[in-house]
Amino acid sequence: MKRIVNWINIRLILMLCLVVFLFSFTSNRNEKRKLAKIDVVFVGENNLFIKSETVNKLLIENMNNRLAIEKDKLDLNKLERILDSNAMIDESDVFVSIDGVLKAVVKQKTPVARVVDEFESFYIDYKGGKMPLSDNFTARVPLISGTINKKHEEKLAQLFCAIYEDDFLKKNIIAIQIMPNASLKMFNRNYDYQIDFGSMRNFEAKFKSYKAFFQKAVLDSTLYKYKKIDLRFTKQVVCTK
């Protein structure tokens, strides 16, 4: 009986050694495999501010222009850092599939406003960062004029995001002028009136008041009569004909 037990144990050990050997052999062959191709996948926005060819080129350049490189010699973290440093890219994930394809999953930055002045023009992205314009696509976001004071950058970014996230405001507000005292004037897409928004304080409540006013005024066709909509006072909308 003892011999039978020992023989079973020996067989189990041999089988385990065989499995470990086969796994190591397969893994080693897989790591030594050459890359088959590069596949770039964009997630999120459908409109591309950066082309897949540009991402492809960045990857190849940082692989010393060699696609025929062994998988175990790739620095995937470095490739991700290179992509993430691009001004159009928010974040990326670079990995090699089982069949030897180098995959780059790329999430672009999301522009929420476009700053326009006599010196330069650029987007402000969803995180409040600076994003260059693209030759491939122009985002339909509010045009921002005036000086953005560093003191108000964060609050302005929050306000731009609030407009971007709201379907009504996104379609309605086409331009914002930042005045020297940091108060805001906004302009509507379909009507001639100007919105005197005032400071950014309580901007969520001001937008709520404006939306409620608009929905009521559009029903009785009075929007065309107004020259200015004053939102400077919270929970109060003052109209000038």
- The three state secondary structure string of 93-149 is EEEECCCCEEEEEEEECCEEEEEECCCCEEEEECCCCEECCCCCCCCCCCEEECCCC
Compute the average pLDDT of residues 43-63: 87
Say what the pTM is.
Answer: 0.79
Cβ–Cβ under 8 Å, residues 172 and 214:
yes
| Phi, psi (degrees; rounded to nearest 5) at 46 | -80, -30
Compute the average pLDDT of residues 104-130: 92
Residue 134: name the closest of 102, 152, 167, 111 by CA. 111
Confidence at residue 192, expressed as pLDDT on a 0 to 100 scale: 86
Residue 202 structure tokens? 């309580």
- Categorize the per-residue pLDDT at 235 as very low, low, confident or very high, splitting at 50, 70 and 90: confident
- Categorize the per-residue pLDDT at 27 as very low, low, confident or very high, splitting at 50, 70 and 90: very low
Compute the average pLDDT of residues 3-20: 57
> What are the pLDDT digits (tens) for 171-225?
999 999 999 999 999 999 888 899 999 999 999 999 999 999 888 888 877 788 8
